[in-house]
Amino acid sequence: MLGEMGIVERFYSALMREEVKPLEPLGDKVWLTHLAFDCARRSILETTYLKGIRPRSIIRSWIGRKLHELNVLGKEMEITLEHDGVVGRIDEYDPENKILLEKKTTTFTPREITPITFRQTEYEKWLLEKNGREVRKCFVLYIDFVNDAVRAFEVNPRDSQTIGNEIKERKSRILDARKWGILPPRTPFYLDSRGQLLSCSICPTFHLCYLGEEAVPPELVYLEEEEI
Ligand code: SF4
- CATH number of the domain bearing residue 122: 3.90.320.10
**Tens of pLDDT, residues 153-164:** 999 999 999 999
Quote the pTM value.
0.86
**Tens of pLDDT, residues 95-105:** 999 999 999 99
**Tens of pLDDT, residues 84-94:** 999 999 999 99
Residue 179 makes CB contacts below 8 A (sequence gap 6+) with none
How many whole angstroms from 165 Cα to the centroid of ligand 1?
24
Say if CB 47 and CB 134 are below 8 A apart: no
In three-state secondary structure terms, 204 is coil
Is residue 54 assigned to a domain? yes
Spell out where the chain has E strands: 30-31, 76-83, 86-94, 99-106, 137-144, 149-155, 182-183, 221-222
Q: What rounded mean pLDDT belongs to the chain?
A: 86
Is residue 164 assigned to a domain? yes
- Domain extent at residue 178: 27-227
Is residue 21 assigned to a domain? no
Q: How many domains does the chain have?
A: 1
Under the banding of pLDDT at 50, 70 and 90, the label for residue 27 is: confident
**Tens of pLDDT, residues 190-212:** 555 555 556 777 788 887 887 76
Given the CA of residue 42, which atom of ligand 1 is nearest to it? 5
pLDDT of residue 212: 61
Query: Greater confidence, 143 or 196?
Result: 143
Instruction: Answer yes or no: is the C-beta of 205 below 6 A from any ligand 1 atom.
Output: yes
**Tens of pLDDT, residues 2-22:** 999 999 999 999 998 988 877
Instruction: Answer yes or no: is the C-beta of 186 below 6 A from any ligand 1 atom.
Output: yes
Is residue 1 assigned to a domain? no
Is residue 4 assigned to a domain? no
